Amino acid sequence: DGGITQSPKYLFRKEGQNVTLSCEQNLNHDAMYWYRQDPGQGLRLIYYSQIVNDFQKGDIAEGYSVSREKKESFPLTVTSAQKNPTAFYLCASKGLAGVITGELFFGEGSRLTVL
Amino acid sequence: EDQVTQSPEALRLQEGESSSLNCSYTVSGLRGLFWYRQDPGKGPEFLFTLYSAGEEKEKERLKATLTKKESFLHITAPKPEDSATYLCAVLEGAAGNKLTFGGGTRVLVKP
């Protein structure tokens, strides 16, 4: 079955540590996205990529980094520079990149807690 | 700056009690408005796309409508399984592939 797999589902981190969240998709989608969701709030865009080896900052990119070396993979690193990293992180993908469609396919999310 | 505002923030309904959720937006050149459903601890699931004022889409007990400044998600005779957070998002003319999400409406349907 096609879909998006995020791991780990739960992650605890000490202050000052970098962590990397994995996102893999087998939908053959060109575009991939990382969103952050805080309790009771909507989704805020961190980074997105429309093609391999290219990505753009979203609205809240500070303290985060990404790479897109393969079409299937779009890992997110939460660095120690991110001042308030505790949140629910969602990875998404979209087919037919460049065409007007809002249908994003989301993973199950990764919940990061900083101790 | 583009804004997407959803109201109410939370809605408690009795099973069978119909209601509507609102999504108002201020964007220049709307290219599409999208509704998603999100269950607790899960990723959002796509429901509808609306492109132009006057357009309507239906799926089971849900009906989405669009005007020039807002969209409504009508829930008719809801069941407990309709309990979820409903998110709307807009795609604005110059934003390329970037969606702007509203804060969501948490719906709880009691039996």
A43, A92, A102 ranked by CB distance to B91: nearest:
A102
CB contact under 8 A, B97 and A90: no
How would you write the pLDDT of chain B (111 residues) with one tens digit per residue? 568 999 999 999 999 999 999 999 987 778 889 999 999 999 999 999 998 999 999 999 999 999 989 999 999 999 999 999 999 999 876 656 678 899 999 999 999
What confidence category does residue A1 fall into, taking pLDDT thresholds of 50, 70 and 90? low
CB contact under 8 A, A106 and B98: no
- A31-67: buried (b, 16+ CB within 10 Å) or exposed (e) per residue? bbbbbbbeeeebbbbbbbbbeeeebeebeebeebbbe
The three state secondary structure string of chain B is: CCEEEEECCEEEEECCCCEEEEEEEECCCEEEEEEEEECCCCCCEEEEEECCCCCEEEECCEEEEECCCEEEEEECCCCHHHCEEEEEEEEECCCCCCEEECCCEEEEEEC
pLDDT per position as a tens digit, B59-70 = 999 999 999 899
For residues A91-105, give the mean pLDDT. 77
Position B34 scores a pLDDT of 93
